[in-house]
Amino acid sequence: MLAYVVAIVVAIIVIPVTNGSITRLAEVRFRRVWLLVLGLALQVVVTVVDLPRARYEDLGVGILLASYVALLGFCASNLRTRGIELIGLGIALNAIVIALNLGMPYKVADGLPRETTVKHRPTRDSDVAVFLSDQIVVGDPVDAAISIGDIVLAAGIVELAYFGSRRPRRRGRTAATREIDLTAADEIDLREAQPTGAVDTTRSKASNTRRS
């Protein structure tokens, strides 16, 4: 959560500093938004609903992984939007760790209690891919742990805000269009290089051809 809050704050600052427009960012259109809503709703469910401790690693993790599937589906539907690919990668990294360990292992910061929830729990010796879990500890006054996936996701949020808040650049012309332009330019140069009489003769021949 910490990484996402910081990313949103940075994104809000980046937009005016880089002459972006919040209005233009609000005009960005996404596909299959219902997947995003579903994914976030399922995340809220596992946070708000008080599941029995014995159901954390089956029902709880099942709901949690379903939320990640929905969020990844949303990202896959909007890969043409800059920043979405990083957001999707960050989500995938976190989902992999949770699936492998039936929860997100975290490094306990000094002085903080060892709390266990559906999503987070202290690191165990049997955990795998621990380097991808919440092992990056942020000290006072925050006292939190974040993962590599959180950092990647946060970078994606900032990228999305940056590119979405400005007018998109016009794509370059196609090769066929450039070839037509070059051909037209060559014809102009050829006409300029020919004597006036030669140009008139060419026009006369073209006129006779049309008459015949």
Q: Residue 193: is its pLDDT beyond 70? A: no
pLDDT at 137: 85
pTM of the model: 0.75
Residues β-bridged to residue 138? 144
Q: State the DSSP string of 177-212.
A: HHHHHHHHHHHHHHHHHS-HHHHHHHHHHHHHHHH-
* 198: CB partners within 8 A, 6+ apart: none
- The 10s digit of each residue's pLDDT in 155-188 is 999 999 999 998 765 545 544 545 545 555 555 5
High-pLDDT (> 70) share of the chain, %: 75
